[in-house]
A = this chain, B = another copy of it.
């Protein structure tokens, strides 16, 4: 690398950030490489100096975004109060209305079904989320913590996806609210 390694690494990260934001907002197939590069302040040329293909970027950016989210979760401790805050945030209208800043699972899982290259990193992160959420439920029986974690994950991901897809504000709000109320 003849350019300063630090700058190159920084640009690499910026590409990952912009890509993951745009992908979450518009889906993998809804964003072109040129757009992503432009969003990072570059032209489309040097893309292949950073990644071998769009697929590779999809995989790496998804893994990046999920890892960052998980690290954010790990910073705060775990208690019933903090757990309630997490639920409130995840099922908030803000999260629903800002997919680009939100959960990759809710935004991209459906497309990842058909993107084998992304499934590997995605699966790794999903496992980590499930395990982390299970440790965040210590006031539950150890035996059911993992099952509860999986159930909760399915419910909140499904709720956000449905609340984003419907056209009716009242129904959309109702989905978020009722699923939120479903957790003691």
Contact = CB atoms under 8 A, between A and B. Distances in A.
Interface of A: 26-27, 29-30, 99, 105-114, 116, 119-120, 122-123, 126-127, 146-147, 150-151, 153-159, 161-162, 164-168, 171, 174-175, 178-179, 181-182
Contact of A110 (B122, B150, B161, B178): B161
B109 A161 contact: yes
A58 to B, nearest CB: 13
Interface of A is mostly: helix
Given A26-B114, A114-B30, A123-B171, A109 B151 contact: no
A179 B166 CA distance: 23
Contacts of A116: 167
Given A27-B114, A111-B27, A123-B171, A154 B165 contact: no
B162 A154 contact: yes
Contacts of A27: 29, 110-111, 114
Contacts of A159: 154, 158
